[in-house]
Structure 1
């Protein structure tokens, strides 16, 4: 008899049992259901079975249950045969996406199952549905890296970042395999989607690190759910209060320990969590289930010196003491103080953290030691260098060094937000290959969501250390045309950016500091609107400035007493196809100064050249000028009357010495 014939017979018998035999045979029926649970079918069948006709029939049901948005509802026995009318109803309800979730293994289990069946059958329908699931998971992720329990969002505690029952960990494990091109799933992604899954995983890790709870500044573990805005432990159901959880922490730590070449921040998180798990383990306690004299199921905990350690499901945030709750939400110190329904029907203790404690020594031993040469450091994603993450290398640099530190960065795409702190001056970053050594992140104004100044938190690379030198790298904000999104932000003095690609859209490069002086040499800078902006003095020599939309190149906010603002010398202004209406600049603040000398201006530059941003005061207070430019956009007869054409004598004042205060770059690179 085939599996499906058995299932149809089972449905018929279940109907009869419900009316005639349920009081007597209830336990037997439940046993049959558990024997054929959806989770068991996805995770525990023999590998060859997934290529069978029965497996494909179930996969076809999984396709029917998938909603147009790409996700699935929870708590559905996907293996249960469907009548024709039931199939028709599912087809009609495809657009009903509210209810799609990652809770209780939903979406994750369906995707995993489809991948297993596809691996054996190569049925494209299963792959297409799986890829829709990937798109759903990517869309459901918060900009801060977390996942809600339901997407589309469902009001209530369902919007919290959800670690409960491994929801987010399962999603991230799936994305991790996909981002690494793992063959275990049998499905590989195109490069663009693979890159998205890699970024989603990185942001997920960032979220996990931000939500790790601190007790008096000491890192501990995690809660089952965290507020999506504050990252603090949050309440779910009445008996699921803000707390720390052993099982949730264990699942997260096992995920962190699976990362190849983990960052220092990940290492610290794991170390702290292991210390906390050791501190909170309960020894000598064993769960015992039994039936009372009146036939009711019960459980109790008895002393047993040989029992494996256990951890409470809920621990107080202040002191880690376990607590228990009925549906009234009132904390109780003992499990025997709550009613039988909650006592028996809920897992209040768990032994899963033992897996962490068993794996931790081996994980710790495999970690790479700190490099011996602290002035000459190599970063390589494959583990062949001193560090695998650029930020880790920065974090381990000497503060305020007397000599220059050089960080060599091997080829690769580093999905990191980089911060060169004020106490990390005199660092040179040298990429192995400009085109293939890429620092990329995708924060933007709305994703940061910190109010009107969110723009300044979006930078992929933020430099605050004086005398920073960046060479042979690509720095990009990969968020796309979604508003303000900085690729490179510099709030430091005497920095040189050399032979780099700086890629973005609106607000690509932010340069700030009234007395800060910066030098860009032989760089490509791309963007749409105001993509070079700020109040620092900056010299651009032999750079390509590429406009990607009809808009404005510069938005200077030069300070009133600064002699120079943005100066472009021997630069080439280009544009992508279909871009024909670009202004050289406009004043972000009244005293803005921007000058182009000996540059080649493409035909995308408008005849009027400059725009006043509806600030008539800026026409007299600011200074916009040109000298000896060439190209179709250099014609000056129709320039706005408040701009200037420098004389030869005036142009001679625009020297490196006058603008930056140095004769050569070596004065800043010592």
Structure 2
């Protein structure tokens, strides 16, 4: 008997809920109506007055309100009295967006200034509710629960951005005249919204996938909502986000990349051969070989397995494992990604370039080249090519990390103008947070492949004076850096491994150990600029190497406040660093070299000079364990001796 009463109660509750939903759905349909006859009617005016009445004092609206309902005098009085109850204002379930859309459409036919004022006030509510990072919470003012997360759930944030996009697209033809200052805020708000969408696209084993229904407003990680709404990949909400990205007239390389990966995920994770159906009043997933693809609402973040859950918050794999109420009262499957796939091919033809296999490519931020991203260009190059591939980088500031991997050999990357072709990033030791070896994860530009030439580029690490922060890292063989500017602070240039590296006509600046590593490197006609009292080189030359770092015809400079710079110190005991025919500033330490408090290094390290000039050239005052080369000894420090290799021994000659 008790079970029968419970079932009856649930049935009555369900019928009441369905009736309320019906009224709300009717309003949602009415709110977006484009029927000119209706919008010009007195009925539309009556409903618009209700919309004004329901608007809260902060400009927003509550959700699940049937605005088309005829209100009694008492109801109007109660609604007016609740205008300062701001706990209800939200973007959930189309709230605020649909009211603003309706007011704008009615205003076109009934230019009542109260409609215009209400619209601008509601728009102000949306702009104020946005987080600085670009996301929107479900409710504003913020509530102390899951609704404070960045909410893609039920397309809440996407609906806001679609409205802002409509305003920007229509501008002068939009029914409500938007003040120029407000339009600027809308443009900024929209760009931040797209930015946070790109940032929150979930990476699974390093690869972009889709989105969660909620993301933590601070960490941006997938977040939980109600007990049965776990952190997960969302087939439904992600589809709308992709459609938003695909609607952009000039998508960036990042947007195109996001769409490409999301579409790939949708294709790989569709469910075929099944459909949802109501069987004897109960929702089921049944076999049907003719059914169109369907997608789950929730996918496991790591395995991509679809799951469902009940109000008890326990994940289940099947409808049969959850109760009647949640099985039938929630949308566990969706067909919405099908709309993405339907539009994808046409979108791809327009925005995804098919790059022919060739030996010369242009990278340009404005989209006029083959690629907009340097990394994308490198990734598309043939592996281990027989003929050299050239990437020409047009002027611009490229805020990205670039890595030339071991298989991307035989590439020349040449900038249009050294000072105007800038590759920059701001990683540093603590930010990388990869343990004791974090330094090696901070590089703005990394070269791991042999036979690479970098020319006419500025490569920066802009982290500031915050510890180890590499601008350029080279850990391969036969690499040339010609007419480049390498800027940073500590550890600007890492020359690792045991390869041969040629650096010519370039500028290198930093603070401490800003040229370091174990490679054999020949610097010719370079400027080395010290920004603080510290050490220029920190070689870790392997035992048995004939040469370490060799500087010939270089000019050393120092910032005005700098008074004591050492030419080098031994990172490892067999360090080698030699300065030949170079100009040394007055700020050069009289002793020239430092032992890094390693007495054994004085026996094994080889630090030397020959025929240097300038106020800092004081060979007679150097530490006793350093060397002044004789003319005979200097003769072995030729470019050929230092850079020749068993493979392609004269690789450096035509640079």
TM (normalized to structure 1)? 0.69
Q: Is the 8 A contact 1:111 1:130 kept in 2?
A: no
2:557 alignment partner in structure 1: 574
Would you say 1:120 and 2:178 are equivalent positions? yes
1:388 alignment partner in structure 2: 372
1:612 alignment partner in structure 2: 595
2:204 alignment partner in structure 1: 211
Sort the Cα spacing of 1:407 and 1:58 in 2 relative to 1 into closer, same or farther, 3 A: closer
How many Å apart are 1:540 and its aligned residue? 0.7
1:37 alignment partner in structure 2: 95
Q: Is the 8 A contact 2:52 2:115 kept in 1?
A: no
Q: 1:422 aligns with which of 397, 406, 411?
A: 406
2:239 alignment partner in structure 1: 250
Q: Is the 8 A contact 1:519 1:540 kept in 2?
A: yes
- State the alpha-carbon separation in 2 of the partners of residues 32 and 586 from structure 1: 62
How many Å apart are 1:427 and its aligned residue? 1.5
Would you say 1:457 and 2:446 are equivalent positions? no
1:521 alignment partner in structure 2: 504
Q: Is the 8 A contact 2:468 2:491 kept in 1?
A: yes
2:192 alignment partner in structure 1: 175
Q: Is the 8 A contact 1:324 1:338 kept in 2?
A: no
Q: Is the 8 A contact 1:593 1:622 kept in 2?
A: yes
1:137 alignment partner in structure 2: none
How many Å apart are 1:510 and its aligned residue? 0.8
1:397 alignment partner in structure 2: 381
- SS of residue matched to 2:633: helix
Sort the Cα spacing of 1:505 and 1:347 in 2 relative to 1 into closer, same or farther, 3 A: farther
Sort the Cα spacing of 1:551 and 1:208 in 2 relative to 1 into closer, same or farther, 3 A: farther
Q: Is the 8 A contact 2:273 2:287 kept in 1?
A: no
Counterpart mapping for 1:641-652 below 5 A: 641-652=624-635
Q: Is the 8 A contact 1:625 1:646 kept in 2?
A: yes
1:214-253 Cα offsets, whole Å, 9 max, x none, are 8xxxx9755557999x999886654234654312442454
Q: Is the 8 A contact 1:284 1:308 kept in 2?
A: no
Sort the Cα spacing of 1:318 and 1:71 in 2 relative to 1 into closer, same or farther, 3 A: closer
2:469 alignment partner in structure 1: 485
Sort the Cα spacing of 1:563 and 1:113 in 2 relative to 1 into closer, same or farther, 3 A: same
Would you say 1:632 and 2:615 are equivalent positions? yes
- State the alpha-carbon separation in 2 of the partners of residues 555 and 4 from structure 1: 71
Q: Is the 8 A contact 2:411 2:451 kept in 1?
A: yes
Q: 2:581 aligns with which of 588, 598, 608?
A: 598
How many Å apart are 1:207 and its aligned residue? 6.8
1:102 alignment partner in structure 2: 150
Sort the Cα spacing of 1:309 and 1:64 in 2 relative to 1 into closer, same or farther, 3 A: closer
Q: 2:319 aligns with which of 327, 334, 356?
A: 334
Sort the Cα spacing of 1:444 and 1:14 in 2 relative to 1 into closer, same or farther, 3 A: farther
Sort the Cα spacing of 1:59 and 1:429 in 2 relative to 1 into closer, same or farther, 3 A: closer
1:325 alignment partner in structure 2: 310
Sort the Cα spacing of 1:582 and 1:496 in 2 relative to 1 into closer, same or farther, 3 A: same
TM (normalized to structure 2)? 0.70
1:148 alignment partner in structure 2: none
- State the alpha-carbon separation in 1 of the partners of residues 329 and 204 from structure 2: 29
Of residues 617-626 and 58-67 in structure 1, the stretch that sits farther from structure 2 once superposed is: 58-67
2:3 alignment partner in structure 1: none
- State the alpha-carbon separation in 2 of the partners of residues 281 and 304 from structure 1: 6
1:151 alignment partner in structure 2: none
- State the alpha-carbon separation in 2 of the partners of residues 365 and 237 from structure 1: 40
Would you say 1:240 and 2:229 are equivalent positions? yes
How many Å apart are 1:265 and its aligned residue? 6.1
- State the alpha-carbon separation in 2 of the partners of residues 380 and 520 from structure 1: 26
Give the unaligned 5+ runs of structure 2: 1-48, 63-72, 83-87, 108-112
1:470 alignment partner in structure 2: 454
Counterpart mapping for 1:141-290 below 5 A: 174-175=191-192, 205=198, 208=201, 210-211=203-204, 223-224=212-213, 238-241=227-230, 243-251=232-240, 253-254=242-243, 257=246, 259-261=251-253, 269-276=261-268, 278-279=270-271, 283=275, 285=277
Structure with the greater alpha carbon radius of gyration = 2
Sort the Cα spacing of 1:438 and 1:281 in 2 relative to 1 into closer, same or farther, 3 A: farther
Q: Is the 8 A contact 1:582 1:604 kept in 2?
A: yes
1:283-316 Cα offsets, whole Å, 9 max, x none, are 565899xxxxxxxxx9957999999865321246
- SS of residue matched to 2:341: helix
- State the alpha-carbon separation in 2 of the partners of residues 62 and 221 from structure 1: 25
How many Å apart are 1:611 and its aligned residue? 2.2
- State the alpha-carbon separation in 2 of the partners of residues 381 and 73 from structure 1: 29
Sort the Cα spacing of 1:175 and 1:211 in 2 relative to 1 into closer, same or farther, 3 A: farther
Q: Is the 8 A contact 2:150 2:215 kept in 1?
A: no
1:533 alignment partner in structure 2: 516
How many pairs does the alignment contain?
564
1:507 alignment partner in structure 2: 491
Would you say 1:406 and 2:390 are equivalent positions? yes
1:162-206 Cα offsets, whole Å, 9 max, x none, are xxxxxxxxx9x63376xxxxxxxxxxxxxxxxxxxxxx77xx758
Q: Is the 8 A contact 2:200 2:215 kept in 1?
A: no
Q: Is the 8 A contact 1:282 1:311 kept in 2?
A: no
Q: Is the 8 A contact 2:456 2:484 kept in 1?
A: yes
- SS of residue matched to 2:201: helix
Q: Is the 8 A contact 1:3 1:54 kept in 2?
A: no
Of residues 380-389 and 559-568 in structure 1, the stretch that sits farther from structure 2 once superposed is: 380-389
1:190 alignment partner in structure 2: none
Q: Is the 8 A contact 1:261 1:388 kept in 2?
A: yes
How many Å apart are 1:554 and its aligned residue? 1.3
- State the alpha-carbon separation in 2 of the partners of residues 618 and 461 from structure 1: 31
Sort the Cα spacing of 1:564 and 1:331 in 2 relative to 1 into closer, same or farther, 3 A: same
Counterpart mapping for 1:1-12 below 5 A: none
Q: Is the 8 A contact 1:544 1:572 kept in 2?
A: yes
Q: Is the 8 A contact 2:502 2:652 kept in 1?
A: no
1:142 alignment partner in structure 2: none
- SS of residue matched to 1:453: helix
Would you say 1:563 and 2:521 are equivalent positions? no
Sort the Cα spacing of 1:76 and 1:395 in 2 relative to 1 into closer, same or farther, 3 A: closer
Q: Is the 8 A contact 2:526 2:555 kept in 1?
A: yes
Q: 2:340 aligns with which of 356, 365, 368?
A: 356
How many Å apart are 1:572 and its aligned residue? 1.6
Sort the Cα spacing of 1:248 and 1:393 in 2 relative to 1 into closer, same or farther, 3 A: same
1:475-506 Cα offsets, whole Å, 9 max, x none, are 22233333222221111111111011112222
Sort the Cα spacing of 1:210 and 1:549 in 2 relative to 1 into closer, same or farther, 3 A: farther
- State the alpha-carbon separation in 1 of the partners of residues 331 and 317 from structure 2: 15
Q: Is the 8 A contact 1:324 1:348 kept in 2?
A: no
Sort the Cα spacing of 1:363 and 1:209 in 2 relative to 1 into closer, same or farther, 3 A: farther
- State the alpha-carbon separation in 1 of the partners of residues 617 and 530 from structure 2: 16
CA RMSD of aligned residues (A): 5.2
How many Å apart are 1:403 and its aligned residue? 2.6
